[in-house]
Amino acid sequence: MDFKLLNETVERVIESTEEFKTEGNVATYIPELANVDENNFGLAIVTVDGKTILKGDTELRFSMQSISKVISLIMALEDNGTDYVFERIGCECSPYAFNHVNTITTKAANPFVNAGAISTTAMIKGRDKEEKFQRFMDRIKKLSGDQGVTFLEKVYNSEMETTDTNRALFYILRSKGIFDLEMDDVLNRYVAGCSVGVNVVNLAKIAAVLANGGKCLETGDQLVEEDYVKITLAQMFTSGMYEESGKYQMTIGFPLKSGVSGGIMGVVPGKFGICTYSPRLDATGNSLRGIKVLEGLSKELGLSLFA
Ligand code: GLN
């Protein structure tokens, strides 16, 4: 991919989406998420050959929210294998909102609705809940090149005060025998995972590892098994944008995962990882300007996997 062309196109597309800067609303159901500058925008691209494009507020730290579900899935697979995971979680897109009770039948619809991520969180191994969460943090640091990944306690406390829907999902899943663990182990770790603070560069780096078949960009070491990369990207493709995943696969056309704090992480296999941050969301909970930027880039550069 021509780096100069990529850089110029990014600049042009960001400019052309200025008009969406004030559209949409920040999430308020987790009160602390409303404590941001609503018009912030940041973008990072990391190519598989190690080049970087940074635009806007790339230092700004925000909570991963649902983007953390990608890491929980990878770890659930690594700790238990594919069969174990998909015997207990479905692999189809859900037409329901990410925290809707109908996302559970006999099991969660897919790993990227809340019920699915509560399930993968339960599958992460460790001696106790502290060790399980430490392993989760370490995995994010390793994949993202560390650089300031941190735990956002205020976001965590804020969600813990308002997360009864997720508590309900936890109990439904446990009643169906998906796991047999205590609330303060699984649910608290799920919310803690959503509260990991990153910037767009951290997430673009994780995406770049996935774009590179799971291999470290610098050393070539296999950081994520190739089979698990394929599974993760397939799920990001079919369910990464909640109940509107199909819609954006028609206009963007590569694996994506969004979070309600305003991040969208994207993987263009063999080419680059990308992350946009813009906290104003559409009605589904996806970053409004982030989508516009990704749509523009995909169109101008022919990035759809079906192009
Ligand atoms: N922590 C959020 C929740 O559980 C994550 C949701 C999201 O980003 N879609 O509701």
Q: At residue 146, does pLDDT exceed 80?
A: no
To the query of whether residue 66 is one of the catalytic residues in this protein, the response is yes
Q: Quote the mean pLDDT of the chain.
A: 97
| pLDDT (tens digit per residue) in 35-91 | 999 999 999 999 999 999 999 999 999 999 999 999 999 999 999 999 999 999 999
Q: Per-residue pLDDT averaged across 128-135, rounded? A: 98
Q: At residue 242, does pLDDT exceed 80?
A: yes
Q: So where are the chain's domains?
A: 3-301
**Alpha-carbon Rg for the chain in angstroms:** 18
**What is the distance in A from the centroid of ligand 1 to the CA of 159?**
9
Q: Per-residue pLDDT averaged across 204-216, rounded? A: 98
Q: What percent of the chain is modeled with pLDDT above 90?
A: 98
pTM to 2 decimal places: 0.97
Q: Which of the four pLDDT bands, split at 50, 70 and 90, describes residue 276?
A: very high
Q: What percent of the chain is modeled with pLDDT above 70?
A: 100
Q: At residue 162, does pLDDT exceed 80?
A: yes
Q: Per-residue pLDDT averaged across 192-219, rounded? A: 98
Model pLDDT, residue 145: 86
Please state the CATH superfamily assignment of the domain spanning residues 3-301 in this structure: DD-peptidase/beta-lactamase superfamily (3.40.710.10)
Model pLDDT, residue 138: 97
The Cα–Cα gap between 253 and 240 comes to 12
Q: Per-residue pLDDT averaged across 106-116, rounded? A: 98
Model pLDDT, residue 150: 96
**What is the distance in A from the centroid of ligand 1 to the CA of 63?**
10
Q: Which of the four pLDDT bands, split at 50, 70 and 90, describes residue 147?
A: confident
Active-site position among 156, 242, 248, 277: 242
Residue of minimum CA distance from atom 10 in ligand 1:
99
Q: Is 65 in the pocket of ligand 1 (CB under 6 A)?
A: yes
**What is the distance in A from the centroid of ligand 1 to the CA of 67?**
9
What are the backbone dihedrals phi and psi of residue 289, each rounded to the nearest 5 degrees, phi first? -70, -35
| Per-residue tokens: 111 | 């790993």
Active-site position among 55, 69, 215, 271: 69
| Per-residue tokens: 79 | 């700790």
